[in-house]
Amino acid sequence: MNLTLFVWRQKGPAEKGRLEQFNAKDISPEMSFLEMLDTVNEGIIKDGKEPIAFDHDCREGICGMCSQVINGVPHGPQEKTTVCQLHMRNFKDGGSIYIEPWRARAFPVIKDLIVDRSALDRIIQAGGYISVHTGGVPDANAVLVSNDDADAAMDASECIGCGACVAACPNGSAMLFTASKVTHLAMLPQGQVEAARRVCVMTEAMTQEGFGNCSNHYECQAACPKGIRVQFIAKLNREFIRAQFKGARRESPQ
Amino acid sequence: MILDGKCPSGPLSEKWDKRCRELKLVSPANKRRYKIIVVGAGLAGASAAATLGELGYNVEAFCCQDSPRRGHSIAAQGGINAAKNYPNDGDSIFRLFHDTVKGGDFRSREANVYRLAMLSNNIIDQCVAQGVPFARDYAGYLDNRSFGGAQVSRTFYARGQTGQQLLLGAYGALSRQIKAGSVRLHPRTEMLDLVLIDGEAKGITVRDLVTGKIESYSADAVCLCTGGYANVFNLSTNAMGSNVTATYRAYKKGAFFANPCFTQIHPTCIPVSGDHQSKLTLMSESLRNDGRVWVPKMKGDKRPAHEVPEAERDYFLERRYPGYGNLAPRDIASRAVKEVCDEGFGAGSSGRGVYLDFADALKRVGKEKIKERYGNLFEMYEKITGEDAFKQPMRIYPAPHYAMGGLWVDYDLQSNIPGLFVLGEANFSDHGANRLGASALMQGLADGYFIIPYTIADYLARTTPGKAGTDNPEFKKSREDVETFTKKLLSVKGRKTVNEFHRELGRIMWDNVGMTRSEEGLKRALKLVPELRAEFLENVKVPGSGADLNQELEKAGRVADFLEFAELMARDALLRNESCGGHFRAEYQMPDGEAKRDDENFCYVAAWEFSGIDNAPELHKEPLKFENIELAARSYK
């Protein structure tokens, strides 16, 4: 396969970026998208130029590191697939591919296709956990969890924290990301004690980090490589309202 | 030198309690005066940093990735072992200990493994309390499945993403401490040197991967939790960024490297599809619960799988190992797969693959049940190969996966350098010559949650906090060394890319230091690796500068270390004139092709001491004693 690539190049956060054209020659349809970029990069290096910088690590769709908008769609055209799992057989020989970084106010570009997603970490730091100390916990079977609840918690906690939901959202909202963690823990008996406080501090952190609000476009669900559903956003809203009735103490993240 | 693992005396089941009683404590008020560096944020690193922070120490945590949620523990699929015996099928702490020692082919330390088996139960309790959504049965109790090398069901799991869920639990605990201010996180930061003051580990030199700045961090103790080195083979199931740099550079500063030749080749991975391949993808061992491994009985049979009638299929694992069948341990299954392919029975166009067939299980329990158990694995397989494993069997082939070898540590997880602790896959301690499935997660978390908080206190209590600051000349020297090496890599301006060198190294290692090793092959590797290393330093092309984010420079540093480490690995494999676990020497095998161990001469840990890159490293031995399990030939038949 031969392809024309238009890749976002940006030297640093303060620099102006632009699309640069590359020719990807002799690409095998068996290659993954990132292996195609590896091949292009080898050529760029041999030409004595700086290769395209992009985030990637596990290359099996679980670490959440890879993050590219391909032809306008975060993680590219295939449903429920990260960039690293996307294979070139999904593209047409002779076609053009536009590759850009995640674009959102809360994700400043570091270089080329690499963005800073630490805002997502800070949402979790605000309260996306159960505050249990190491040791001194009851036997694992002491508290029963229904099969359905465990399944629902697992559905929500499959989120890999890649940020595609934010990149897909016209408002740059991190609602799906936050909702998945809120739901995961709210489905489990162990997570109940802090549930009201958790939903408040996490949504507060989300706003402070510069993420937008949710206005029900559902682009996040369409872009999510793990199939996290927008129903979890409804669950977050329900938890949030319930927390207001309970008069949860609102703590703003520092 | 004869090394001492400092295992406590007394009965096996009382050793850890005894050690805990002996260990010194640091009072709550004093804890905040101590600073601890934790490098790596996988299961071992995140659990250690979170727990130490929670106890009141000042923790500086480092990881290469952009977030501590991305360590490669996240990719572990199948599960985590524990001796809970919830299914009432005859499991016990002793049996888990026994299986692990036997699985490791009697090359691990009894006391360590027993402690691991004991702590396995605490881990499950802890993870459930953190909200890890383990699989449950319809009454709400925890569910179990079986894994290789065990005849009981002791593996806890969260679909095919157990590692992810456990890591997110540890990441949550870590995030809580970051918020509380007890842990300071340094993401996108790579450790490039260990700093010793008066022979003790007191800090590290790092490169900020965004700004390129070389910086020093001092502390009272250093914990390395930096994972394994399977990427020395270039193609492995490890993440692209997994590397040996932190542990290797500690080795160059005097830490002993133990059993580097013990590497695990995992039997069930998706076969290589071409030269462009950047990594190999694992298909969880749990699939062998329901999948049956077979090849056509006829050599070079190119018929599609469904056209090969039942009578013409060889279920070779069930045939050769009836006791364990498809759940034979990894080293044994891998070798059996390689053998049938070498003999020409392999499936697929390349002949480098065997079938993993779910047809029977689909008939027995139905598609819905299989989907529930392994849904994401089937999806993953389809994305990569374009084939639907519900309709045709998977094709699988072995791939490098895990490093049992690592930095030498004593019972307290302290290396021979005082103040340097090594946790998780980065150390050598618990898996001997072969790791059983679902035991890596167990070890990482046991080390981080339940061992290091006790043992590090004993070291700290004997030291004065804040002994050396980063203004110490040792730090300055270390920074200069790192800067010089970085400049050197950038100044070569040769013709070959870093990837080309890595691929070449991988080929040498896979061909000569891979699944089957021979004296001839190992000697060849010992000749080829130094040649390639010399070429690397003269002909590598690293573009860009050291003053900003430069991924080629990062890779170049890691490959430079692999090029040195590979030689150590081959040397260790050449010394070990026996076959055991993942280390199979063609010269040492039974008449039926099984591994022939030599307990008389090799029942020891080989710990290597660096003595200059042009000199042979010095060998130290730690003899292994088996007082509770009979040192017997391993049989899974």
Cα A239 to the center of its chain, rounded Å: 22
- For B26, B32, B228, the CA distances from B29, given in Å and listed in that order, are 8, 6, 36
Token pair for B75: 């990719």
Instruction: State whether A147 and B133 contact (CB < 8 Å).
Output: no
CB A28 within 8 A of CB B274: yes
Beta strand B221-224 pairing with B257-258: unpaired
Asked, for residue A75, whether it belongs to a domain, the answer is: yes
| Average per-residue pLDDT for chain B | 96
Tokens of B561: 């270390």
Q: Same structural domain for residues A62 and A130?
A: no
What are the pLDDT digits (tens) for B221-254? 999 999 999 999 999 999 999 999 999 999 999 9
**A139 closest CB neighbour out of B74, B125, B282:** B125
Q: What is the reported pLDDT for A221?
A: 98
pLDDT at A252: 47
Contact list in B for residue A127 (CB cut-off 8 A) is 179
| Inter-chain CB proximity B281 and A56 less than 8 Å | no
* Residue A173 covered by a domain: yes
* H helical segments located in B448-518: 452-461, 473-492, 498-512
**CA gap B267, B335 in Å, rounded:** 8
What is the rounded end-to-end Cα distance, in angstroms, of chain B? 39
pLDDT band at B637 (very low <50, low <70, confident <90, very high): confident
Across the interface, of B172, B241, B380, the residue whose CB is closest to A128 is B172
The reply to whether A254 falls in a domain is no
Nearest to A131 among B176, B499, B548 (CB): B176
Question: Which candidate in A30, A60, A88 is best for mutational testing of the B interface (most B CBs within 10 A)?
Answer: A60
For chain B, give the percent of residues with pLDDT over 90: 91
A30 to chain B, closest Cα gap in Å: 7
What pLDDT, in 10s, does the model give residues A196-212? 999 999 999 999 999 99
Span B170-198, average pLDDT: 98
The residue annotated as part of the active site, out of B249, B330, B585, B597, is B330
Q: DSSP letter at B578?
A: S
Spatial distance between the Cα atoms of B236 and B233, rounded to a whole number of angstroms: 6
Annotation marks residue B330 as catalytic: yes
Assess whether A58 and A98 both reside in one domain.
Answer: yes
pLDDT digits (tens, 9 = 90+) for B528-568: 999 999 999 999 999 999 999 999 999 999 999 999 999 99
Chain A nearest-CA residue for B240: A57
Q: Is residue A248's pLDDT more than 80?
A: no
**pLDDT digits 0-9 by tens, B2-45:** 999 999 999 999 999 999 999 999 999 999 999 999 999 999 99
Tell which CATH architecture fits domain B473-597.
Up-down Bundle (1.20)
Q: Where are the domains of chain B?
A: 267-399, 473-597
CA distance A84 to chain B (A): 10
A223, A134: one domain: yes
Own/partner long-range contacts of B240-245 (Cβ < 8 Å, ≥24 apart):
B240/A56, B240/A57, B240/A58, B240/A59, B240/B278, B240/B279, B241/A57, B241/B64, B241/B65, B241/B72, B242/B72, B243/B558, B243/B561, B243/B562, B244/B558, B244/B561, B244/B562, B244/B565, B245/B190, B245/B191, B245/B192, B245/B557, B245/B558, B245/B561
CATH of the domain at A224: 1.10.1060.10
A132 and A163 share one domain: yes
> Could you read off the pLDDT of B260-292 as tens digits, one per residue?
999 999 999 999 988 889 999 999 888 999 999
CB atoms A132 and B126 under 8 Å: yes
Same-domain status, A128 and A241: yes
Widest pairwise Cα distance in chain A: 64
Residues of A in Cβ contact (< 8 Å) with B279: 59-60
Handedness of CA A183, A185, A188, A191 (dihedral sign): negative
Q: Which of chain A's residues have a Cβ under 8 Å away from the Cβ of B273?
A: 30
Secondary structure in 3-state letters for B416-461: CCCCEEECHHHECCCCCCCCCCCCHHHHHHHHHHHHHHHHHHHHHH
3-state secondary structure of B258: strand
Separation of alpha carbons B128 and B125, rounded Å: 5
The Cα–Cα gap between B177 and B384 comes to 38
Q: Please state at what angle helix A175-186 crosses helix A231-246, rounded to 10 degrees.
A: 70
Bridge partners (DSSP) of residue B399 are: B266
The predicted pLDDT at position B284 comes to: 87
Yes or no, beta carbons of A35 and B276 under 8 Å apart: yes
* Cβ-contact B251, B414 below 8 angstroms: no
Q: What is the residue whose two structure tokens read 């001194």? A: A136
**Residues B107-117: tens digit of each pLDDT:** 999 999 999 99
* Cβ–Cβ under 8 Å, residues A107 and A100: no
Q: A62 and A153 share a domain?
A: no
Whether the model pTM is above 0.90:
yes
Half-sphere exposure of B601 (CA within 13 A, CB side): 8
- Rg value, chain A, Cα: 20
Comparing CA positions, the residue from A77, A82, A244, A105 lying closest to residue A174 is A105
Instruction: For residue A192, give how far its alpha carbon lies from the nearest alpha carbon of chain B (Å).
Output: 10
Interface test with B, best of A57, A80, A88, A147 (most B CBs within 10 A): A57
**In the 8-state DSSP scheme, what is residue B142?**
B
Which of B164, B179, B380 faces A126 most closely, judged by CB atoms?
Answer: B179
Q: Which residues of B touch A87 (CB under 8 A)?
A: 383-384, 386
Q: Which of A58, A65, A254 to mutate to test the interface with B (most CBs of B within 10 A)?
A: A58
CB contact under 8 A, A38 and B278: yes
> A152 and A227 share a domain?
yes
Residue A39, both tokens = 């091949």
The per-residue pLDDT for B174 is 98
Cβ of B67 within 8 Å of Cβ of A161? The answer is: yes
pLDDT tens digit sequence for B375-402: 888 998 998 999 999 999 999 999 999 9
Chain B residues closer than 8 Å to A190 by CB: 128-131
Residues 6+ positions from B238 with CB-CB distance below 8 Å: B72, B227, B228, B230, B231, B279, B400, B401
Q: Determine which helix (DSSP H) or strand (DSSP E) holds B293, and give its type and residue range.
A: strand B292-296
Write out chain B residues lying below 8 Å of A137, CB-based. 125-126, 128-129
Query: Among partner residues B142, B379, B499, which is closest to A42 by beta-carbon distance?
Result: B499
Residue B104: band (very low, low, confident or very high) from pLDDT cuts 50, 70, 90 = very high
Does residue A66 share a domain with residue A48? yes
| pLDDT tops 80 at residue A250 | no
Q: How far apart are CA A93 and CA A76, in angstroms?
A: 16
Enumerate the residues of chain B whose CB falls inside 8 A of the CB of residue A32: 278, 384
Q: What integer pLDDT is reported at residue A253 of this predicted model?
A: 45
Residue A42 shares a structural domain with residue A80: yes
CB within 8 Å: B210 and A110: yes
CB-based contact A125 B175, cutoff 8 Å? yes
- The CA distances from residue B36 to A223, B33, B56, B57, B551, in Å, are 40, 10, 11, 7, 28
The residue behind tokens 């080989």 is: B606
Q: Which two tokens stand for residue A177?
A: 């990301």
Q: How far is B148 from chain A (nearest CA, A)?
A: 23
A63 closest CB neighbour out of B126, B239, B450: B239
User: Which of A111, A141, A163 is the last residue in one of the domains?
Assistant: A111
Which residues in chain B have Cβ-Cβ distances shorter than 8 Å to A111?
Answer: 548-549
Q: Give the list of residues 6+ apart from residue B232 with CB closer than 8 angstroms, or none.
A: B244, B505, B506, B509, B562, B565, B566, B569
Cα(B630)–Cα(B600) distance, integer angstroms: 14
Interchain proximity B72–A50, CB inside 8 Å: no
Q: How far apart are CA B566 and CA B366, in angstroms?
A: 47
DSSP B301-348: --S-GGGS-GGGEE-HHHHH-TTTGGG--HHHHHHHHHHHHHTT---S
Whether residue A136 sits in one domain with residue A218:
yes
A28 to B386: CB separation less than 8 angstroms, yes or no: no
pLDDT digits (tens, 9 = 90+) for A116-151: 999 999 999 999 999 999 999 999 999 999 999 999
Whether the CA torsion A139, A144, A145, A146 is positive or negative: it is positive
Residue B451: which of A228, A132, A134 has the closest Cα?
A134
Helix B498-512 × helix A33-46 angle, to 10°: 120
Contact pairs from chain A to chain B, CB under 8 Å: 216
Q: Which residues on chain B are in Cβ contact (under 8 Å) with A53? A: 549, 551
Please state, rounded to an integer, the average pLDDT across all residues of chain A. Answer: 95
Placement of tokens 């290789």 in the chain: B148
**CA dist., res. B148 & res. B325, Å (int):** 9
Interior angle at CA B513, CA B384 and CA B533, nearest 5: 95
Q: How far is A12 from chain B (nearest CA, A)?
A: 9
Tokens for B516, please give them: 């089957």
In terms of CA atoms, which chain B residue is nearest residue A34?
A: B278
Nearest CA to A157 out of A145, A168, A167, A144 is that of: A145
End-of-domain residue from the set A111, A138, A172: A111
- What pLDDT does residue B634 have? 82
Q: Which residues contact B156 (CB under 8 A, 6 or more apart)?
A: B79, B80, B81, B82, B84, B124, B134, B135, B142, B143, B144, B162
Chain A residues with beta carbon closer than 8 angstroms to that of B72: 57-58, 63
- Nearest-CA distance A218 → chain B (Å): 23
Domain boundary among A85, A111, A137: A111
pLDDT at B46 over 50: yes
Residue identified by tokens 């590692």 is B163
Q: Which of B159, B278, B386 is nearest residue A89 as measured by Cβ atoms?
A: B386
**Residue from A134, A232, A251 to probe the interface with B (highest B Cβ count within 10 Å):** A134
Q: Which residues pair with B260 in a beta bridge?
A: none
Regarding whether A131 and A43 lie in a shared domain, the answer is no
Q: Which two tokens stand for residue A24?
A: 């990807």
The predicted-structure confidence for B408-451, as pLDDT tens digits, reads as follows 999 999 999 999 999 999 999 899 999 999 999 999 999 999 99
pLDDT surpassing 60 at residue A251: no
DSSP assignment of A24-87 = E-S--TTSBHHHHHHHHHHHHHHTTSPPPP---SSSSS-S-----EETTEET-SSTT--GGG-B
- Facing residue for B278 by CB, picked from A59, A89, A254: A59
Interface contact B172-A80, CB threshold 8 A: no
Q: Helix, strand or coil for residue B114?
A: helix
Contacts of B86 in chain A (CB under 8 A): 141
Helix-then-strand count for chain A, H and E: 8, 7
CB B99 within 8 A of CB A108: no
A133 lies in the same domain as A234: yes
The verdict on a CB contact (< 8 Å) between B67 and A134 is no
For residues B449-462, one letter each, b for 16 or more C-beta atoms within 10 angstroms of the residue's C-beta and e for the rest, the string is bbbbbbbbbbbbee
In Å, how far from its chain's centre is CA B297?
Answer: 35
Q: Which of B84, B282, B383 sits opposite A81 (nearest CB)?
A: B383
Is there a domain that residue A217 lies in?
A: yes
Q: What is the CATH number of the domain that holds A43?
A: 3.10.20.30
Per-residue pLDDT of B443-499, as tens digits, reads 999 999 999 999 999 999 999 999 889 999 999 999 999 999 999 999 999 999 999
Is there a contact between B543 and A49 (Cβ–Cβ < 8 Å)? yes
Cβ distance of B126 and A135 shorter than 8 Å = yes
Question: CA of B247, closest CA in chain A: separation in Å?
Answer: 20
CATH class of B267-399: alpha beta
CA dihedral A218, A223, A228, A232 (to 10 degrees): -20
For A37, the domain range is: 3-111
